[in-house]
Amino acid sequence: MKAPARSARLISLTLLAVMLLTPPLLLLFDRPNTLGFSTLPVYLFTVWLLILLAAAWIMESPAHPPAPEKQTEKNPPSAKALATTQEPDDAS
């Protein structure tokens, strides 16, 4: 991934994290559910974990995708590829 694309994704992730952790959205989860406890800690941990995983995925993705291999003298075609392209001899 090129540096501008990586930085754009990290900026987008930061903005998403800020939006997910704003007080109005947090107040939606700070209410007791049917079991009698607040779901806020579960929400905060889940959002935190997803942000960390997304940041790790962005940072660990390769800077440049691998280029397809080219057929060169240093990299000749395999024997199997040669065997399938050769025609059988009609010497019989």
The 10s digit of each residue's pLDDT in 25-84 is 999 988 888 888 888 999 999 999 999 999 999 999 876 666 676 656 666 666 666 666
Phi, psi angles (nearest 5°) of residue 52: -65, -45
pLDDT digits 0-9 by tens, 13-28: 999 999 999 999 999 9
- All structural domains of the chain with their residue ranges: 1-86
Longest Cα separation, the chain: 87
